[in-house]
A and B are shown apart, each in its own frame.
Chain A
Amino acid sequence: MLKKTRAVRTVKSTAFYAFLIIAAFIYFIPLFFMLFTSLKSPAELFSADATLFSFPKKIMWENFPQAWQAGKLYIYMKNSALITIIRVPITLVIVSLSAYALTRLQFKPANLVFLIFLIGMMMPLQIFLVPLMIMIKKAKLFNTYWAVIVPYIALDIPLGVLVFRGFFRTIPLELDSSAKIDGCNSFMIYSRIIMPLSKPAIATMTILFSLNTWNEFLLASLFIPKDKIRTLPLGLLSYVGEWTTDYPRFMAAVLMSIIPVFVVYLFFQRYFVQGLTGTLKE
């Protein structure tokens, strides 16, 4: 009797895992298709006998360096990385200072200011585009990195303030008052006590802001269309039409654009999830 239930349980759990593995495999088919395409030669792709969803007969590793060179991926990656490196720390400082004022200083209209920040989060990008274009051209920033850096910082203020405000409220206020007794001013409390305690929030927001920057398309397509300054999504999209006969190298380029995100995701997965649901946990 006991043996039988154990057997039933084993069958059940094997079926459960089999179901999950098949589901995950089906879900990842587009990514496998990209991977296999990127490793084939164009000749193999076009040949009649080879099925498309098959492992390449001869692995063409050289597609990757070729796509890297011909697709000018090194330029686009450098641009995306540079913009990310400049804008993430600035955003972190700006939003954490604001969240500090909203949670830790005597500030009566704190809730009102916070509400106004929140409304910015719901706005569709489209409402900013035309006036921003005019401003950026007037300020002679068109086709410079700053044309996207400044809007990226501004657009992430609402989310950043929301998350940091939520985190700062979990830090006990007694720390501030005892630091004040020890002679700390408000900026020292911010920089020496609150920020060092906020490493989880800083890590989460670093990941999230970097991801937003790496993947952003619309503003970049409008404000930095020049080939030398383009970011990665923009560079990838510019292959369409140019590379339609060379899908292996095209998919190799797409794959390489995902690799940095994939590596960071592998190591810091929990911060991705925290960052994206952080607004909910509030």
Chain B
Amino acid sequence: MTSSTNKKLFDPVKIEPWLYLSPAILLYALILFYPVIQSIVLSFYKWDGMSAFKEFTGFNNYRILFFKDPVFWISLKNNTIFMVTFLLVTNSVCLALALILNRPFSGRVVFRGIFYFPYVISMIAVALIWGWMYHPQLGLINELLRAVGLESLGRTWLGDLKTAFASVIVTASWKAIGIGMVFFLSGLQTLPVSPYESAKLDGANAIQSFFYLTIPFLRETFVIVITLTVISSFKVFDVVYAMTWGGPMRATNVLATWMYFQSFRNHNAGSGTAIATLLVIIMCAIAIPYIMLMSRRSVSSQ
């Protein structure tokens, strides 16, 4: 009797999957899951990030963020500007490029490769190259403006409150065009051919079939691209850190850089973890519907 219950408890067939999963689960729990919990707990403490002394202050870190920290609101605004620009402008460029490079012509693989390449370079290298492009005296952008007689438009792009964050967005867009293009390309390749043929027979022009056929057919691709754009807009860090360090006057901070500076430069880990917690809340609000969608799809395809 006892031996049979033991057998059930330690059924090798049931334990086996756990053995295979154990390294991943252990690492996941230790490096990902536990820190999330600890970050959330720390966000309720006043703590400098180093000393042994922590003081529990409830929601005080959040209260300070919302009511007394202008940089938090600047950061949130910048993340939003970044997201909206990417959604409307950058993604439109990606779609246009994908439509062009989806046409059958010889050499299109080469062009795809060209437009995709900057995406694989490190953001730090990209930021350094573009920082050099924006250089006030020697940079290419002011030089080009001088060459076409628009010298008055030249400026210290990254040091000017009006242009600093826009310059960062241009850099980030330049790097990201390739990945957006690839997502749209793989969506375009699933389009059926026959509706286009019958539309052509019915006298529809290219613009009409784009709006009435291509856009509706790409609905799923749009969901994916929009979700990933929103997520990556709130994760953005490297490009701001390397190009402007959040300046001038902290005006180009995003939530991720402000979290970093608060936690590791300004000795305010309490506030930093509170920002990180808010980031997670934003991310979950966007990502969980998406994950549900994806897992439902993969279950139904089983």
Contacts and interface: CB of A to CB of B under 8 A. Distances in A.
Contacts of B116: 269, 272-273
Contacts of B130: 30
Contacts of A16: 105
A95 B24 contact: yes
B272 interface: yes
Interface stretch (B65-73, B107-115, B191-199): B107-115
Interface of B: 13-14, 16-21, 23-25, 27-28, 30-36, 38-39, 42, 49, 100, 105, 107, 111, 113-125, 128-133, 135, 138-140, 143-144, 147, 174, 177, 179, 182-183, 186, 224, 231, 234-235, 237-238, 241-242, 255-256, 259-260, 263-264, 269, 272-273, 275-277, 279-280, 283-284, 287-288, 291, 294-295, 297-299, 302
A28 B17 contact: no
Contact of A97 (B21, B125, B224, B255): B21
Contact of B31 (A27, A151, A251, A277): A151
B183 A124 contact: no
A129 B276 contact: yes
Given A117-B28, A157-B28, A277-B183, A97 B23 contact: yes
Contact of B276 (A126, A133, A134, A217): A126
Which secondary structure dominates chain A's binding surface? helix
Given A30-B174, A237-B124, A122 B24 contact: no
User: Looking at A28, A45, A98, A282, which has the most chain B CB atoms within 10 Å of its CB?
Assistant: A98
Nearest to A185: B16
A117 B32 CA distance: 10
Contacts of A128: 31-32, 35-36, 39
Given A20-B100, A37-B132, A111-B299, A125 B35 contact: no
B163 to A, nearest CB: 17
- Determine the interface band of chain A, counting residues with CB < 8 A from chain B: 35 or more
Given A129-B276, A240-B128, A106 B13 contact: yes
Given A97-B24, A276-B179, 16 more contacts: A27-B118, A34-B132, A98-B25, A100-B20, A101-B21, A102-B21, A105-B13, A126-B276, A130-B276, A135-B35, A215-B123, A232-B122, A236-B124, A254-B128, A261-B122, A265-B120
A118 B105 contact: no
B229 to A, nearest CB: 13
Contact of A106 (B17, B33, B140): B17
Nearest to B235: A124
Contacts of B118: 27, 31
B120 A211 contact: yes
Contacts of B120: 211, 215, 261, 265, 272
Contacts of B260: 126, 129, 218
Contact of A115 (B107, B263, B291): B291
A187 B19 CA distance: 11
A113 B21 contact: yes
Nearest to B263: A130
A111 B138 contact: no
Given A105-B20, A127-B277, A258-B121, A120 B291 contact: no
Contacts of B283: 122-124
A124 B276 contact: yes
21 contacts: A30-B133, A94-B24, A98-B23, A101-B20, A105-B17, A117-B24, A118-B295, A130-B39, A131-B42, A155-B32, A211-B120, A214-B122, A215-B124, A217-B122, A217-B123, A218-B237, A222-B264, A233-B125, A247-B132, A261-B121, A273-B182
Contacts of B186: 277, 280-281
Nearest to A80: B122
Interface string A236-262: 110010000001001100100110011
B272 A131 contact: no
Nearest to B109: A269
Nearest to A103: B302
A117 B295 CA distance: 11
Contacts of B269: 130
Contacts of B128: 236-237, 240, 250, 254
A61 interface: no
B134 to A, nearest CB: 10
A124 B234 contact: yes
Contacts of A37: 132
A209 B269 CA distance: 30
B115 A24 contact: yes
Contacts of B140: 29-30, 33, 52-53
A280 B188 CA distance: 13
Contacts of B264: 129, 133, 222
Contact of A94 (B27, B291, B299): B27
Contacts of B111: 20, 24
